[in-house]
């Protein structure tokens, strides 16, 4: 269990997770954007194990300010 907790790149390196990152969008709301770099790091560095932590915690999703600035 400790190995899984320590193997998620976005959770460890991305900093504090915001409420927007944790909250699943309601029907009709825009979907959250994923950090492609963290996704690839989790797949290649941890064999996908890091995804088990990063997706449920929301750490792999981009923050709202980053989403709105790239529109």
Count the domains in the chain. Answer: 1
25: Cβ–Cβ under 8 A, 6 or more apart, which residues? 31, 32
Closest to 7 measured CA to CA, from 43, 37, 59, 49: 49
Residue 65: pLDDT band with limits 50, 70, 90: low
Domain with 41, as residue range(s), is: 2-69
The predicted-structure confidence for 9-22, as pLDDT tens digits, reads as follows 676 677 678 888 88
Percent of the chain with pLDDT over 90: 6
The predicted-structure confidence for 48-58, as pLDDT tens digits, reads as follows 888 888 888 88
Give the pLDDT of residue 54: 86
């Amino acid at each position: 269990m400790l190995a899984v907790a320590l193997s998620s790149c976005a959770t460890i390196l991305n900093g504090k997770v915001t409420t927007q990152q944790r909250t699943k969008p309601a029907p009709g709301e825009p979907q959250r954007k994923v950090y492609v770099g963290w996704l690839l790091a989790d797949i290649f560095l941890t064999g996908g194990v890091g995804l088990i932590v990063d997706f449920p915690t929301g750490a792999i999703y981009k923050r709202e300010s980053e989403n709105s600035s790239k529109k």
